[in-house]
Amino acid sequence: MKIAVVGATGLVGGKMLQVLEEQNVKTDELLVAASEHSVGKELLFQGDKLKVVSVEDAIAASPEIAIFSAGAAASKTYAPRFAGKGAFVIDNSSAWRMDERVPLVVPEINADVISRDSRIIANPNCSTIQMVMALAPLHKAFGIKRLVVSTYQSVSGSGMKGLRQLALEERGKTAEPPAYPHPIHHNVLPQGGDFNADGYTSEEQKLIDETRKILRAPHIAITATAVRVPVVGGHSEAVNVEFENPFELFMVRNLLQAMPGVVVQDDPSSCQYPMAIEAYDKDEVFVGRIRRDFSVENGLNLWIVSDNIRKGAATNAVQIATYLIAHFFKQ
């Protein structure tokens, strides 16, 4: 088993290496690849120093699995070349997510869409992953009619640039070039990604399109507002759900508690609810503030928090890799 991590020197790539090590994913060889200016650098993995190789060298090595976190442009260029040499490609960018031929996978929900012929598999957007982890069992039980989503996304969602801008501004300095069009320290930006012609942003559109694809429910009405907040790590979401069918709150809690990877934190009397500061560097999706929306029939409010770099990116990708190893390779 030979695995390549493409984009290994980046924020998510580094976390992928950490999660591969934590989960003790068995590999005969691990290739760490990045852009040309990083070739030759050394990265630590399981106590060993691994030299960064070029993407071309990684392709030539013919890995069985290639995990990408190198951006959409690099993925469009190189993912088909890895796949052409027989590799399964797990891509963390937006490049392939809405391609009808490419599975968009959260393993706890829809790993069954992966087949031996699925040579490119898309990792969903971070904010989508945590939301559907909570919504999938509820949709199966009650049928989701409409979603209204507001996200409160940390600066780590913008990679090293976002973290750098916040850190510099906290010290009274200015980031050049900035990750955002305005200061993020002591501020809240109602913009996630770039604006589309209809006034929605790319982050908002991902929530809409990807949720429908993962839940296999193109009929769900969804509207979203993505907001960037001055938090280092962990995305938070206020999710309003309107179901097709009636529900009881105890049913909702039972379904969420039974969902693998979901932790319910919901005790208003002791001020217990999910917070980004506590979700940081954890793999679980935390759900709280579970309450009825009395303004509509069959309405529900949820507060969903998760570490966007772990379950929202690296951990989900590694989970896909372990699924592939278990189902398509002899042990």
Name the region of 128 (left: φ>0; alpha: ψ -120 to 50; beta: rest).
alpha
In the set 37, 139, 182, 235, the catalytic residue is 235
Q: Which of 291, 306, 308, 205 is nearest to 259 (CA)?
A: 306
- Closest alpha carbon to 305 in 271, 270, 279: 279
Residue 327 appears among annotated catalytic residues: no
Nearest CA to 157 out of 269, 292, 329, 15 is that of 15
What DSSP designation does 288 have? E
Q: Give the active site residue among 37, 126, 139, 271.
A: 126
Question: Are 323 and 67 a contacting pair, CB within 8 Å?
Answer: no
Measured distance CA(324)–CA(208) in Å, rounded: 27
d(CA 180, CA 184): 7
221 - beta bridge partners?
146
Q: Is 235 a catalytic residue?
A: yes
Catalytic residues, by residue number, are: 126, 235
